[in-house]
């Protein structure tokens, strides 16, 4: 068994699990993956068995006899341990900018999360969304446009090269895709770049093979 164990929820539904998993994958760290299907009677007990030192939520990281359970903390750990890649920009201001974007994604956009839970197998035609949801989406688009306009010369991701900021917005692309939300040229280009990420493609393929269906639950994902 690997010393590093990542406990995640359903790949179809769990946006926070996706973030933690992508961070570990991109870091190059070797880890074992334990998937606990969420919203079943035995889910909490199974999560405690998988990582006894962490609360029963996903994702959580077990490293020997230690545990990390906040998604941002897991991503920071992955960034610090990565050897062949840098998951934060190297420039001081650019790194601070990226941290600001990640912190905003980590703590905000409640209306979007509640109205459009992540569901990788859902795809419906676009319909006008509630005002507070549209407000969240437009703020996300504003972040994308600002970053792409500022860092376009350095690469195709938000800050040019791939960073944790891209990881934190990966589940947003699923929400937008599931409701066919219109994208302008800049946002569509970034969406396509992130959607084509090989690790993200692997996650989506695994989600399609899952047999568990949560149904109409609106609060799929525990951080």
pLDDT, tens only, 55-65:
999 999 999 99
CATH number belonging to the domain at 4-85, selected among 3.10.620.30, 3.30.750.24, 3.90.1640.10, 3.40.30.10: 3.40.30.10
Q: What is the dihedral of CA 120, 19, 158, 133, to 10 degrees?
A: 60
pLDDT tens for each residue of 3-52: 999 999 999 999 999 999 999 999 999 999 999 999 999 999 999 999 99
Tokens in use for 197? Answer: 């990420």
Question: How many Å apart are CA 62 and CA 186, to the nearest integer?
Answer: 39
Residues of the chain with CATH 1.20.1050.10: 92-203
Residues forming CATH 3.40.30.10 domain(s) in the chain? 4-85
Q: Say whether domain 92-203 belongs to CATH 1.20.1050.10.
A: yes
Determine contact, residues 72/108, Cβ cutoff 8 Å: no
pLDDT(215) > 70:
no
Name the least confident of 69-83, 102-116, 139-153, 202-216.
202-216
Q: Indicate the average pLDDT of the chain.
A: 95
């Amino acid at each position: 068994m690997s010393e590093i164990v990542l406990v995640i929820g359903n790949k179809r539904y769990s946006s926070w699990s996706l973030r933690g998993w992508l961070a570990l994958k991109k870091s190059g760290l070797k880890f074992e993956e334990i998937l606990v299907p969420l919203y079943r009677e035995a889910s909490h007990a199974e999560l405690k068995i998988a990582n006894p030192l962490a609360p029963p939520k996903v994702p959580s990281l077990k490293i020997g006899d230690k545990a990390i359970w906040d998604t941002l903390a897991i991503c920071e750990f992955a960034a610090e341990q990565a050897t062949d890649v840098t998951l934060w920009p190297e420039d001081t201001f650019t790194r601070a900018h990226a941290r600001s974007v990640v912190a905003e994604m980590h703590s905000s956009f409640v209306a979007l999360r509640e109205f459009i839970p992540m569901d990788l197998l859902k795809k419906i035609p676009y319909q006008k969304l509630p005002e507070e949801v549209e407000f969240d989406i437009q703020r996300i688009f504003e972040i994308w446009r600002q970053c792409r306009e500022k860092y376009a010369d350095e690469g195709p991701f938000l800050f040019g090269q791939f960073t944790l900021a891209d990881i934190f917005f990966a589940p947003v692309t699923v929400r937008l895709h599931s409701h066919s939300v219109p994208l302008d040229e800049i946002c569509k280009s970034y969406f396509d770049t992130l959607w084509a990420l090989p690790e993200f493609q692997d996650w989506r393929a695994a989600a399609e093979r899952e047999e568990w269906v949560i149904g109409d639950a609106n609060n799929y994902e525990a951080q």
